[in-house]
Amino acid sequence: MASGVTVNDEVIKVFNDMKVRKSSSTEDVKKRKKAVLFCLSDDKKKIVVEEGKWILVGDIGESVDDPYACFVKLLPLNDCRYGLYDATYETKESKKEDLVFIFWAPEGAPLKSKMIYASSKDAIKKKFTGIKHEWQVNGLDDIQDRATLADKLGGNVVVSLEGLPL
């Protein structure tokens, strides 16, 4: 069921910036988002970038030690969100980077919010072409443990996430 919610152009721009890893200057790389949250606009008609709810690549090692833990802390405990997380991980064979689309629908979110986010999910997913990993999360228990994300990325072949061993 479609909700009629549209996706703001800024959301698409953020996705494209995160997806395309062209050789950029060091300054450009630092400004790229490592993780970002999207929410519904106040009138519930558009999916927008949630103001201030992102982590920049340049923040890592500066104000952010563990980007995954920091991302989890951005999630509201009582409302739904969409998120994009640029996961850096290692398998036994190689280092990889993949975008993960996260649909956050915690138990404590209002039913109306869960319904509109669920029915609007396809609108944002259609704009995010090439996403390999999608993860619906219903509470902190599902997302706090980085091993759960590692499992989504490649199961038992993943040996580290964000430079930290599992």
Domain boundaries, the chain: 6-165
CA atoms within 13 A on the CB side of 8: 16
Q: What is the CATH number of domain 6-165?
A: 3.40.20.10
pLDDT of 23: 58
Locate 145 and state its tokens. Answer: 């443990």
pLDDT of 82: 98
Residues of the chain falling short of pLDDT 70: 1-2, 21-24
pLDDT of 22: 62
pLDDT of 155: 82
Q: Which conformational region is residue 161 in: left (phi greater than 0), alpha (psi within -120 to 50 degrees), or beta? A: beta
pLDDT of 28: 77
pLDDT per residue over 140-149, tens digit each?
998 988 889 9
Q: What DSSP letter does each residue of the chain carry, written as one string?
A: -----EE-HHHHHHHHHHH------HHHHHHSEEEEEEEE-TTSSEEEEEEEEEEEGGGBTTTBS-HHHHHHHHS-TTS-EEEEEEEEEEESS-EEEEEEEEEE--TTS-HHHHHHHHHHHHHHHHHSTT--EEEEE-SHHHHSSHHHHHHHHHGGGEEEETTEE-
Q: Which amino acid is at 127?
A: K
**Torsion angles phi and psi, residue 137, rounded to 5:** -120, 130
Angle at 138 between CA 57 and CA 41, to 5 degrees: 65
